[in-house]
Amino acid sequence: MKVATAAYPLDQLSSWAQYEDKIGGWVAEAATAGADLAVFPEYGAMELATLAGSEIAGDLEASLFVVSERLTDADALHRRLAQQFDLHILAASGPAATETRPVNRARLFAPTGQSGAQDKQIMTRFERETWGVIGGGPLQVFDTAIGKIGVLICYDSEFPLLGRALAGCDLILVPSCTEALSGYWRVRIGAMARALENQCVTVMASLVGEAPWSEAVDMSTGTGGVFGPPDTGFPATGVLAEGTLNTPGWTYAEVDLARIAYVRDDGIVLGRAHWPEQIGRDGPPPIVQMR
């Protein structure tokens, strides 16, 4: 199958129709290139706040809730596009209101009309200390026509036990939003590590460019990337595809589920199977005095 992963810039929207045209154009481009899966980044939904005006979009608290109110309409749009173009879409994540505080939620849409949602698990310092976004529901594995799919939203990809919980996945999608180059590389290194230890393919999408109307997403650095285990049938670097840094557009890669199955069964190394053999699996090692 072919995957498309986005380096996605935010716009200051003047109408809902403009948003429909934008998302529709992106999805149509991916479908025309033959993509079976299109992955949008973390917090790409924040541009919906601009429909309420610049004052609301620039207010950290108010922007959370106006975007949350628009997610139902955004979901209907993505569901229709997935069916129209016959591909799976991971919609850009955004704040979703709960009984307490908003969570950061990504939604996956299938051509059948089915959908699923994945909340971010672990909040960054900005999310928890400044913005008041909280961790949401548990990790899930989505059984789809293009394989078993999990989602680790940005910072979540940096935690190996979250990745290990998705060890049954063929694909782990990593929508991200990183301000600095260092943040991009932290998430990318995490995505590549999850591909290595789970012997799977990870797909990283990035928000890119400036959005001066929002303190939350005012500057984003990154690009799309698709990574696998550096093993038989995969590139020696583990990089199936990577875009040009901070350049908007799709990055494409061919993914063969049979290759994933092969390296898990008879790769040069069998890291996924050997995970339980790690030192310290029953607790930290003892502290001893040298003699």
Is position 258 within any domain?
A: yes
Q: How many domains does the chain have?
A: 1
Would the pLDDT of 280 be above 70?
A: no
Mean pLDDT of 234-257: 98
Is position 166 within any domain?
A: yes
The CATH code of the domain that includes 210 is 3.60.110.10
**How do residues 17-62 score in pLDDT, each as one tens digit?**
999 999 999 999 999 999 999 999 999 999 999 999 999 999 999 9
Contact 25, 6 (CB under 8 A): no
Q: How confident is the model at residue 284 (pLDDT cuts 50, 70, 90)?
A: confident
Is position 291 within any domain?
A: no
Give residue 278's pLDDT: 85
Give residue 285's pLDDT: 76
Is position 277 within any domain?
A: no
Mean pLDDT of 123-137: 97
What 3 state SS string does the chain have? CEEEEEEEECCCCCCHHHHHHHHHHHHHHHHHCCCCEEECCCCHHHHHHHHHCHHHHCCHHHHHHHHHHHHHHHHHHHHHHHHHHCCEEEEEEEEECCCCCCEEEEEEECCCCCEEEEECCCCCHHHHHHHCCECCCCCCCEEECCEEEEECCHHHHHCHHHHHHCCCCCEEEEEECCCCHHHHHHHHHHHHHHHHHHCCEEEEEEEEEECCCCCCCCEECCCCEEECCCCCCCCCCCEEEECCCCCCEEEEEECCHHHHHHHHHHCCCCHHHHHHHCCCCCCCCCCCCCC
Residue 161 structure tokens? 């036990």
Is position 289 within any domain?
A: no
Burial classification of residue 286, based on how many CB atoms lie within 10 Å of its CB (0-12 exposed, 13-18 middle, 19 or more buried): exposed
Is position 120 within any domain?
A: yes
Mean pLDDT of 225-237: 98
Classify residue 191 as left (phi > 0), alpha (psi -120 to 50) or beta.
Answer: alpha
Give residue 115's pLDDT: 98
State the chain's mean pLDDT as an integer.
97
Mean pLDDT of 193-222: 98
Give residue 4's pLDDT: 99
Give residue 282's pLDDT: 66
Would the pLDDT of 76 be above 90?
A: yes
Mean pLDDT of 143-156: 98
Contact 94, 67 (CB under 8 A): yes
- State the Cα–Cα distance between residues 1 and 46, nearest whole angstrom: 30
Give residue 281's pLDDT: 63
Please give the residue range of the domain that contains residue 228. 2-271
Is position 267 within any domain?
A: yes
Would the pLDDT of 286 be above 90?
A: no
Give residue 196's pLDDT: 98
Q: How confident is the model at residue 64 (pLDDT cuts 50, 70, 90)?
A: very high
Give residue 291's pLDDT: 87
Mean pLDDT of 64-71: 98
Give residue 232's pLDDT: 96
Give residue 124's pLDDT: 98
Mean pLDDT of 132-155: 98
